[in-house]
Structures are given as structure tokens and as C-alpha cells.
Amino acid sequence: MGEHWFWWLLTAAVVVWYSTVVIYVAFRGLFDIRNMLEHLGRKQRQDQP
Amino acid sequence: MTHFSWAIDGSIVGLYLLATMIAGVAVRKYVGKVEDFLVAGREMNVYLGIASLAATEFGIVTCMYTAQNGYKYGFAGATPGLLNAAAMFLVGYTGFCIKPLRDSGVVTIPELLEKRFGSFVRWLAGVVIVLGGLLNMGVFLRVGGEFLVVTCGLNPGTLEITMTVLLVGVATYTIMGGMLSVLITDFLQFVVMSIGLIAVTILVLVEVGWDRLVGAVTEKIGPGGFNPIINQDLGWDFILFNLFLNTAVVLTWQTCIARVLAAKDTKTGRQVYTRTSFFFVCRFLIPGIWGIAALATLTPAMFAGLSPAMQENSSLYAMPLFLSTLVPVGLMGLLIAAMLAADMSTDSSYMLTWGGVIYNDIMAPFRKGWSEKKGLLWNRFIVAAIGIFLLFFGLWYKLEGDLWTYLTLTGTIYLASISTLLIACCYWKRANNWGGVAAIVISATIPLGFLVLEKVDGATAKAIGPYSSGIAAYLLSGAAMVIGSLLKPRKD
């Protein structure tokens, strides 16, 4: 780590944060997609004469 | 010698491309209105927004110039990422400009500007946004193709055909499903891209090692490789220019702001910004580390395999050359799939969001009374036309000069003025159309003038420098807004 501790910490933070977030977003994003398509489908049915 | 295996890596890439196409085309049935096409019916929630924004803002072109920054400037080259992240977090946290923008219910920024500055400024803003945006994205395909040529060892003669096929695939699902297809495919692309980026970064850190990375920067760049202020090629003007540039990007870059406008409400739009902000550090630092690793490991003899044109700009191709020798079979397929994912998500979103400005703002005077069906047809036609433009401008036309200068220059054509107009529109009651037109003209003239000066009198242009001219564009654009607005007589 030495005198360049700022870049070492930032690199470590990037790897840890990104690895964690990708799993969380992948999981929660699937629910967002399902809800979005459900809402759009419902809107479409309501708009039909 | 590349490690790309057509049997193993090619199958991984093919499977990914097939899944993307199926997902992108499958959601076309949900598109019934122009609003569904352009802003996904405003049904996007936080996590889908994070995935989509991150995937869109990371393309192969991003990876190439951020890695080039790492190769040339060391860790200090990642400074724009830190500034971008800080700007995005602060804007999301405070709601600065994006709250009134999303609350207004508009589809594009020029539509909001019309309420304060009138229909001519809306139209003019649409023109400069499209001009800057299309010229900016014009180079994406070629740079993406060159990455694949170096990393996979593709025959350079097949670059045009490969990227044409890729673009046709992206255009097909974007034309059919609009923002809905973009969001769904962005999600898939975010996952694939992120796994590839993380896996390759860990491999680089393990194989090359932290001490060797730091040692290469210390030896070949010096203290300026860790501190942008003391770097002779960067300095305070670089930091100030990037502060202006990245704040303007967060406020007005069409692909970023499209996520705020597609969000289901203002709170969701702000959360997408705050929670995605740190990704912009990753966006610069991850490829930056790949670039530093290239600096640490490549020898001059290893560049001999590149074409003469690539050898002239070797810092740009050092990173893909390094990856072609480091990444093993299997992981190489994941890397190529990740990079294709990054590029496809960027291309689709750029085509759609800039097409949206053409339809919503430039065509506004001509489309009164149009049906939803006719509006959808025109939007699809515009996306197809942008795809054709990309093919001819970006792939068959060869860019002269430096990539990063070109990108910042074309972006600044509209970033300085539209960010000024947006801030004035939201927070300064005295702002009017005189100031709006003056800001747009100044903002477009300075970067274009600098480009001309570079060709006519290179020594003077070098003395001024791209960062100083960029700072001038932002400051003078703001001054033009104030002076122009104050000069117009009040009606009362």
C-alpha cells in the first residue's frame, strides 16, 4: 500500500463495491423488469376499446 | 498471439448475442405509444435504472480512452471519473435541475426550455444537441471494431463487416422496442459486462501485482502519475475543465437524462443518480488499471504486430494488446461478450435518445396533430436513419487526430450551452430567449473555432490548449446568458 494508499484504497473499494452491487442489482433488477412489464400490460389492456 | 478460441470463446459470445436479441425483440408488444417508445411509459424503477445507466455509459470507446489515460497519465488519468461521480452524487442528492426537469413531465430537455425561452430556442437547442451527440457517437463503431481486431486477432479486413452485423442487430431491437428493449437488454448487458470487467481486473491484479503497477507509474511517469495537479500534461486547467464537463454531462447528456425522465417518479430518478454515482469511479479506474498494466508489461517489440496506423497511436491500442496476451481461453470469451455488451448497450441508447430529440424537438413544428401510430413509425424511421449515419460516418470514414480531444470537443458543442440554459431555466427568473440564443451560439462557436485553429495555426492552438478553450466555452456561455438576458428590454 505504502505512500500511494489513496489509490490502493480506491482500487480496493472499486473491486469490492462493484462485485457486491452487481449481484444486488442483478437480483433486484429482475423484479423491476417484472413489475414494469406488468404495469405496461395493464395500461395497454385499459387503453384498448 | 491472441488467446481467443473460436470454439470455446466464440460459443460464449454467440450465446450471449442470441439471448440479447431474443430479449430485445420479445418486449416490442408492450410498445403502443410514443411515450412507451421514448421513455418506457415512465415505468422504470431504481435498480433497472442503475443497470441501464451504468451499461449505457460504459462502451468499448469508454474503455479505450480511459485505459489510454491510465497508460499515459497513470492513476491521475482516473481523475475525471472521480469528478463525474462527485457531480452525479451531488446532483442526485440535491435534485439540482433534475427535480424540476422530471417534475415538469417533459420527454426531453429542449421541451422544458421552450417554456421559458420559446419555440425557436427549443428547436435550436434540439439542433445543437443532435449535432454534438451524433458527431460524438460517430467514432464509436470503428474504435469498438479496432478493440476486437487487436484482442481477438480478427482479420482487419473483416472489421467493417463484423461491426455492420452487430449494428444491424442492435438497430433491429431498438427500432422494435424503443426504450423498453434498451432497458431490458441494458440489464442483461450490465450483468455480462460487470462479470467480465470484475473477472479481468482481478486477473490483472493477481498476475501483474499492485507493486508492479505502482512501480511502472513511478518509473515511467513519475509523481505526476499519482497526482494530476503536478502532472505536466494535466494540471489545474485539466481538473477545472473536467469539473465543468462532468457537471454538464450529469445535467444534460442525453443518455443520462433519459434515465431520469424514464423513471417512474422524481424520487426514483434521483436515487438512480446517487446510487450509480460510484460506478463512474469504476468506469475510469478499472480500464485505467488495465492501461497501467499494459505500461508495466508490454515491451516495444510487442507493438510490432499492430498495423502501421495503430503503431502511430500506440497508447490507444496498448490495453487491447495487453489483454490479448494475458486473458486465457474461456475468460477471453467472457471478456469479448462483456465488451460487446458494453458497446451494444451504448449504441442502442445513443441511437434512441438522440433520435428522441430529433422527433420531439427538431420536428416539433411539423408534427402537430399526428396520431400515435404515425409518431411511432417516424421514431422508428429516425432510429434506422441514425444507424445508417453511424455506418457511413463511423465505420467507413476514417477519423484524423486524437480520440479524446474529438469526444470532448463534439460534446462541448452543446454541453456548455444546454447546461447553462437548463440552470437558468430552473433558477433564474430574468433569463430569456436573447440570453438563450447567445449562450447556444457561443458554446458552439468556441469548440468549433478551436478545431479550425488547430488546422490553421497549430502553434497558437497548442499555446491556448484544449482545456483552456473548453473552460472558456463554459464561462463565456454563462456570461452570454446573463448579458443577453439583461440586454433584452422587459415587457412591463
> Tens digit of pLDDT for each residue in B194-208?
888 899 999 999 999
Cβ contacts of B32 on chain A, cutoff 8 Å: 44, 47
Residue A27 maps to a domain: yes
Cβ contacts of B191 on chain A, cutoff 8 Å: 22, 26
- Provide the 10 A C-beta neighbour count for residue B11: 12
- Per-residue cell: B259: 434515465
Split at pLDDT 50, 70, 90, the class of B160 is confident
Instruction: Report the greatest alpha carbon distance in chain B.
Output: 75
- Mean pLDDT for B132-136 is 84
Q: For residue A11, give the nearest of B183, B195, B289 by CB distance.
A: B289
Residue A2 maps to a domain: no
Indicate the DSSP class of residue B104: T
Return the number of CB contacts < 8 Å for A and B: 91
Look at residue B287 and tell me whether its pLDDT is greater than 90: yes
**B44 pairs with which residues across the strands?**
B263
Cβ contacts of B48 on chain A, cutoff 8 Å: 29, 32-33, 36
Ordered alpha helix ranges (H), A1-49: 5-47
Residue A21 maps to a domain: yes
Spatial distance between the Cα atoms of B166 and B163, rounded to a whole number of angstroms? 5
- Mean pLDDT for B157-170 is 80
Cβ atoms of B477 and B420 closer than 8 Å: yes
Mutating which of B58, B73, B195, B210 best tests the A interface, going by the most A Cβ atoms within 10 A? B210
Domain ranges for chain B: 8-398
> Tens digit of pLDDT for each residue in B361-409?
888 888 888 888 888 889 889 989 998 888 887 766 665 556 776 788 7
- Provide the 10 A C-beta neighbour count for residue B155: 10
- A37 interfacial to chain B (CB closer than 8 Å): yes
B39 or B245: which leads in pLDDT: B245
Look at residue B94 and tell me whether its pLDDT is greater than 90: yes
- Residue B260 to residues B52, B95, B286, Cα–Cα distance (Å): 11, 11, 26
Cβ contacts of A33 on chain B, cutoff 8 Å: 48, 183-184, 187
**B263 pairs with which residues across the strands?**
B44
Split at pLDDT 50, 70, 90, the class of A2 is low
Cβ contacts of A25 on chain B, cutoff 8 Å: 47, 50-51, 190
Number of domains in chain A: 1
Can you name the CATH fold of B8-398?
Answer: Sodium/glucose cotransporter (1.20.1730)
| Nearest Cα residue to B185 out of B6, B334, B18, B362 | B18
Cβ contacts of B43 on chain A, cutoff 8 Å: 35-36, 39-40
pLDDT for B461 = 80
Ordered alpha helix ranges (H), B358-402: 372-389
Query: Domain range holding A17?
Result: 7-47
When the pLDDT of each residue in chain B is averaged and rounded to a whole number, the result is 86
- A48 interfacial to chain B (CB closer than 8 Å): no
With b for 16 or more beta-carbon neighbours within 10 A and e for fewer, the B161-189 pattern comes to: ebbbebbebbbbbbbbbbbbbbbbbbbbb
- A34 interfacial to chain B (CB closer than 8 Å): no
Please return the burial class of B357, using the count of CB atoms within 10 Å of its CB with bins 0-12, 13-18 and 19+.
Answer: buried
pLDDT for B2 = 61
Q: For residue A40, give the nearest of B30, B48, B49 by CB distance.
A: B30
Look at residue B263 and tell me whether its pLDDT is greater than 80: yes
B292 or B409: which leads in pLDDT: B292
Residue at grid coordinates 444546454: B418
Does A32 contact B45 at a Cβ distance shorter than 8 Å? yes
| Nearest Cα residue to B481 out of B426, B440, B429 | B440
Q: For residue A7, give the nearest of B184, B191, B226 by CB distance.
A: B226
